[in-house]
Structure 1
Amino acid sequence: MSAPPRPDAETTPIRGGRARRRFGPVRWAVALLLAAGAAGVTLPDLAGLDAHSPFAQIIAFRPLAVAVLAVFVVLGLLVTAFVRRFWPVPVLLALVALVGASLVLPRTTAEATPPPGGTPLKVLALNVYEGEADADSVAALIAAEQPDVVSIPESGARYESELAPLLEPLGYRTAASVGPWKPDVRGNTVAWAERLGDVQTRIGDDVQFPYIEATGGRLGELRFVAFHSVAPVPRSVGQWRSDLATVREWCAGEGPAVIAGDFNASFDHSVFREAVAGCGDAAAQTGNGLQGTWPTWAPQWLGPQIDHVLSTGGITAESFGTRAVPGTDHRAIVATLRVP
């Protein structure tokens, strides 16, 4: 009995090859879909999407998103070690992660050493959460840090009346941007050391939360602004953009200015970057641009940095740090600037 004929290797189809051809487009489609989703969370500002909800909220957490994405890349590479066809997924996710990291990591490196000379100006800013922050703790912080000027968002005349008696013995004067008939959340208070001399204040009401400017005395022509923008919650994104547009006027102005407070925006927001293009940021200048300032219940590395000390006119920062204060969901920020 003769043996059965052998199949011809040249004409017999290779099932594995067909499977690879059949599932090739599928794996690339899955990889592209995952990469697009990762980019939507990590890089929406590159397309200007962060000017709208929900990207305005999502992009604030880009540093965290980049870290999480890096973990998924590592997991994807481990899967690829066993299933080689999986490689497009970690490769495309890694590309998104690298672009995100390139936008985040520069904030951890000090930009430059402040030039010698000039006059030091110490700034403290703290959102007191609708006037709920413990006033004694705020006064104790000011006593310990001895700032020249202080920006206190979400503080109207009511909270100012509680804080002023505690600051007067320390040699500070205060002024609020709204009266006692309005809630503290709508106001900004500025405090300044009496050693600055005859400082004058002016209230600006062309934003949702009236800001307050201090100038004169030893500040000279420098304008110090206590500022607070609305938060970019879904119903207020338009007002948020409008509030930040006001900051552009100071950053692009001719005279020196320092703007401090709660901007409800980080450098991951394209709207914020455009508004402060003419300003320096104390945290970024000193390599502390990833120190989260909100919320206090989360680890500092988890939250975004939405409180800032901005400056123009060649003013540079030589130090920046955060402090915890009971009763508020924001960390206080303290920066020492060098004014030419």
Structure 2
Amino acid sequence: MLARSVLLVVLLLGGCGTAAAPAPAPVGEPLRVMTWNVLTSRSDPADWAPVIAAHRPDVVGLQEICAAEVTGLAALLRARGLAYTAVPGPVVPTPDEDAAPVNAALRRPCADRGDVTYGLGVLSRLPVAAASTTLFAPDRRDEQRGYQRVDLGGLVVVNAHLGLNGTAGPQLRALAGVAAGEPGPVVVLGDLNRADVGPLGALTSVGSFPTSGAGAIDHVLVRGLGVVSAAAPEVSVSDHRPLVAELRR
């Protein structure tokens, strides 16, 4: 069901080595997560940084963002005293898919001259042990989609942007399978392009919040963590609201 996995090197930006690496949160400690479709063509990292800094999440899952913007955003937040590690997750199609018009159009938001660098990104204040990006099976009804898996040492975060035109259903079931295969706590973040995600095994939603004109399509799903609260604050720098959730291990 899933296409090939591409292992990503976690990018540690200049200056981050001067800050002490944050320790994993102990059991029972709060964990704040955010998911946000930032719509790169409308705004840029300088617009998004104040929103993220205001909420100070431990982990942020970003969608519709360029790889360079993920690293640039982390640098802006470090300048504000928030030591984030940047994990870009470009959804890079196979050469055949890259030639398809729907994917070739993705070059423009990121001004790429080579491989598409548009897609996903994770920012983490927790130590990153490993990260990878996996592509869903190509489907000509929609642009290439995929998800990131980021191992934070005992906590796995999955950041996804699912498809349109009927493609989201199988992709959502694939995500549920990924979460089910993890031995420890899991947080699934993303623009899932569905208001009703339905039953997904042991995954629990933090709640349904209208995050865009399409409704409650951005989600935080958890397994092995308690949900304390959640909210979708209004913003003016994207067509989606961020969804912020307080969790407890």
| TM-score (ref. length: structure 1) | 0.52
- The answer to whether the 8 Å contact 1:316/1:338 transfers is yes
Aligned to 1:127: 37
Deviates more, 1:174-183 or 1:323-332: 174-183
1:256-281 per-residue CA deviation (whole Å, 9 max, x = no partner) reads 210011001122xxxx314x232111
Q: Could you say which residue in structure 2 is the equivalent of 1:252?
A: 180
More helix by share: 1
1:200 is aligned to 130
2:150 maps to 1:214? yes
Asked whether the equivalents of residues 134 and 326 of structure 1 are also in contact (C-alpha less than 8 Å), the reply is no
The one-letter code of the counterpart of 2:76 is L
Give the secondary structure class of the aligned counterpart of 1:273: coil
Structure 1 residues 160, 316: CA separation in 2 closer, same or farther (over 3 Å shift)?
same
Give the C-alpha shift of residue 201 in structure 1.
1.5
Distance 1:335 1:204 in 2: 25
Residue 279 of structure 1 pairs with residue 190 of structure 2: no
Distance 1:203 1:183 in 2: 12
Residue 247 of structure 2 is aligned to residue 337 of structure 1: yes
2:216 to 294, 299, 305: 305
Give the Cα separation in 2 of the matches to 1:132 and 1:226: 21
CA contact (8 A) 1:131 1:159 kept: no
Structure 1, residues 277-320: CA drift from partner, whole Å, max 9, x if none? 3211112xxxxx3x31112xxxxxxx52111110112x121010
CA 254–214 in structure 1, closer or farther in 2 if over 3 Å, else same: closer
Q: Distance in 1 between matches of 2:51 and 2:35?
A: 11
- Once residues 330 and 126 of structure 1 are traced to their aligned partners in structure 2, the CA distance between those partners, rounded to angstroms, is 7
1:155 match: secondary structure = strand
Tell me the distance in 1 between the aligned counterparts of 2:62 and 2:49.
12
**1:322 correspondence with 2:232:** yes
Cα distance in 1 for partners of 2:163, 2:40 equals 13
Cα distance change of structure 1 residues 131 and 183 upon mapping to structure 2, 3 Å threshold: farther
Conserved in 2, the CA contact under 8 Å of 1:251 and 1:311? no
3-state DSSP class of the match of 2:195? coil
Within 5 A, what are the aligned runs for 1:127-206? 127-169=37-79, 170-178=82-90, 180=112, 181-182=115-116, 184=118, 187-193=119-125, 196-206=126-136
The letter for the 2-side match of 1:190 is V
Deviations 1:90-122 (A, max 9, x none): xxxxxxxxxxxxxxxxxxxxxxxxxxx722110
The alpha-carbon deviation at position 176 of structure 1 amounts to 1.2
TM-score scaled by length of structure 2: 0.70
Number of equivalenced pairs: 192
Matched, 1:293 2:205: no
SS of equivalent residue, structure 2 residue 37: coil
Which of 199, 224, 230 is residue 163 of structure 2 equivalent to? 230
Offset of 1:252 from its aligned partner?
A: 2.8
**Preserved contact between residue 70 and residue 122 of structure 2 (Cα < 8 Å):** no
- Counterpart in 1 of 2:195? 266
Offset of 1:152 from its aligned partner? Answer: 0.2
Instruction: Give the 3 Å change call, closer, same or farther, for CA 163–177 of structure 1 in structure 2.
Output: same
| Structure of higher RCO (CA pairs closer than 8 Å, 6+ residues apart) | 2
Q: Which runs of 5+ in 1 are unaligned?
A: 1-116, 284-288, 296-302
Higher strand share: 2
Distance 1:226 1:131, change over 3 A: farther
Shift of 1:325: 2.9
Q: CA deviation at 1:131?
A: 4.7
For structure 2, the residue ranges without an aligned partner over 5 or more in a row are 1-26, 93-111, 138-143
Q: 1:157: how far off?
A: 1.1
Q: Structure 2: how far apart are the matches of 1:142 and 1:307?
A: 16
Deviation at 1:323, TM superposition (A): 1.9
Structure with max Cα Rg: 1
